[in-house]
Amino acid sequence: MTSVLILNGPNLNLLGTRQPEVYGRTTLDDIEAMCSDHGQAIEMSVEFAQSNIEGELVNHIHAARNRHAGIILNAGAYTHTSIALMDALASVELPAIELHLSNVHAREDFRHKSYIARVATGLICGFGAKGYVLAMDALKDHLSD
């Protein structure tokens, strides 16, 4: 079975109560359950993780190298700042989907820059929690090409 890492960065542990007008009311636990259900439907096994700490996210990406076929990454604000996460993704050479709940390009200018996009296979943003399921389908499709 295809196995993927779904990795979430800073402040995403607060989903559900964090700026619900921007990010919706779905919690990260709800999203994990949604991904696990969808994984069963499309025969994809899912490891789900979250950290507020940049170095821990780097460690998760390194650990994915021999365990997973791809990565779905919502790096939160580190998307716009972290050369370390970009380098980690480039180092493990796994296909990666950059994901955001909100449409970052319709928001502040500082959210238009993404270090992750430079090394990602593709980008999904603006579809709220459903984006996670869309990213799983996109990665599955990409891996079967």
CB 65 within 8 A of CB 41: no
Residue 26 phi, psi dihedral angles, 5° rounding: -75, 130
Residue 128 phi, psi dihedral angles, 5° rounding: 60, -150
Residue 13 binding ligand DQA, by CB under 6 A = no
Between residue 102 and residue 131, which ones bind ligand DQA under the rule CB under 6 A?
Answer: 102, 104, 111
Active site residue 100: yes
Residue 76 binding ligand DQA, by CB under 6 A = yes
Considering beta carbons, is residue 70 or 76 the nearer one to ligand DQA?
76
Given the DSSP bridges, would you call strands 96-100 and 122-125 parallel, antiparallel or unpaired? parallel
Taking residues 78 to 107 in sequence order and writing x for each that binds ligand DQA by CB under 6 A, - otherwise, the string is: -x--------------------xxx-x---
Residue 39 binding ligand DQA, by CB under 6 A = no
Active site residue 112: no
Q: How far apart are CA 124 and CA 129, in angstroms?
A: 11
- Annotated catalytic residue, options 23, 78, 115, 132: 23
Q: Which residues of 21-53 are buried (b: 16+ CB within 10 A; e: fewer)?
A: eebbebbbeebbebbeebbeeeebebbbebbee
- Annotated catalytic residue, options 60, 68, 100, 132: 100
Name the residues that contact ligand DQA, by CB under 6 A: 11, 74, 76-77, 79, 100-102, 104, 111
